Amino acid sequence: MLTATMPEKLVTTYLEMTRRAAFRPGYVDDKDFVVMRMEVPDVPFYRFLYSAVGGQWRWRDRLVISDENLHEALSDPHTTVDVLYSSGIPAGYIELARRSESTEIAYFGLRPNYYGKGLGKHLLSWGIAQAWSDGAQRVWVHTCNLDAPAALENYLKRGFSIYDVLEEPMPSRYY
């Protein structure tokens, strides 16, 4: 299900957290939810997650690269993919990319069946906590007006601050 109307402009918001003290976690206390690291790169499973989470938001980046290049990206020792399971079913994932002392939340989201249950704040909090535990001095993310409507608010509630907003004509790859 794609959004009904395509905006004319792509608005990308960049956010960062530069102090661990700014982090405001929002966990859900439910034994049916567990986060597990994808320890071995599994390209078909990753593509399933990526499509299930990002399909309706027109995510394309990881769909247009070869299996070999995706396997290489997932094999990078500075990249982690943590999957949120709900009663044993994959509900979403968060991918972190560490570069020097900075960690990017490269991809993050839930499958549509899991919206509205607090799992987005839970999984985002998990990822942020992982970044800080791994020694990040800065955690950053970008979102845009094609992402889930609650994404920006979730980032702000977890303690991120906006440091840049860019507007450009909507790239053709999103049509």
At 94, which CATH number? Answer: 3.40.630.30
Which domain, by its residues, includes 34? 9-174
Examine residue 4 and state whether it is found in any structural domain, yes or no.
Answer: no
Residues of the chain with pLDDT > 90, as a percent, come to 79
Question: In the sheet that 79-86 helps form, which strands lie side by side, from edge to edge?
Answer: 33-37, 79-86, 89-99, 102-110, 138-144, 9-17, 161-169
Examine residue 143 and state whether it is found in any structural domain, yes or no.
Answer: yes
- How many alpha carbons fall within 13 Å on the CB side of residue 120? 24
Examine residue 61 and state whether it is found in any structural domain, yes or no.
Answer: yes
Q: Give the chain's mean pLDDT.
A: 93
Give the separation between CA 132 and CA 34, rounded to whole angstroms.
20
Q: How confident is the model at residue 74 (pLDDT cuts 50, 70, 90)?
A: very high
Instruction: Please give the tally of structural domains in the chain.
Output: 1
Give the separation between CA 122 and CA 108, rounded to whole angstroms.
12
Location of structure tokens 């499509």: 51
Examine residue 57 and state whether it is found in any structural domain, yes or no.
Answer: yes
pLDDT at 174: 73
Examine residue 148 and state whether it is found in any structural domain, yes or no.
Answer: yes
Q: How confident is the model at residue 3 (pLDDT cuts 50, 70, 90)?
A: very low
Could you count the other beta carbons within 10 Å of the beta carbon of residue 70? 19
* pLDDT tens-place string over residues 11-40: 999 999 999 999 999 999 888 899 999 999
Mean pLDDT computed over 54-74: 92
Examine residue 34 and state whether it is found in any structural domain, yes or no.
Answer: yes
Could you count the other beta carbons within 10 Å of the beta carbon of residue 63? 12
pLDDT at 88: 94
Examine residue 56 and state whether it is found in any structural domain, yes or no.
Answer: yes
Examine residue 149 and state whether it is found in any structural domain, yes or no.
Answer: yes
pTM listed for this prediction: 0.92
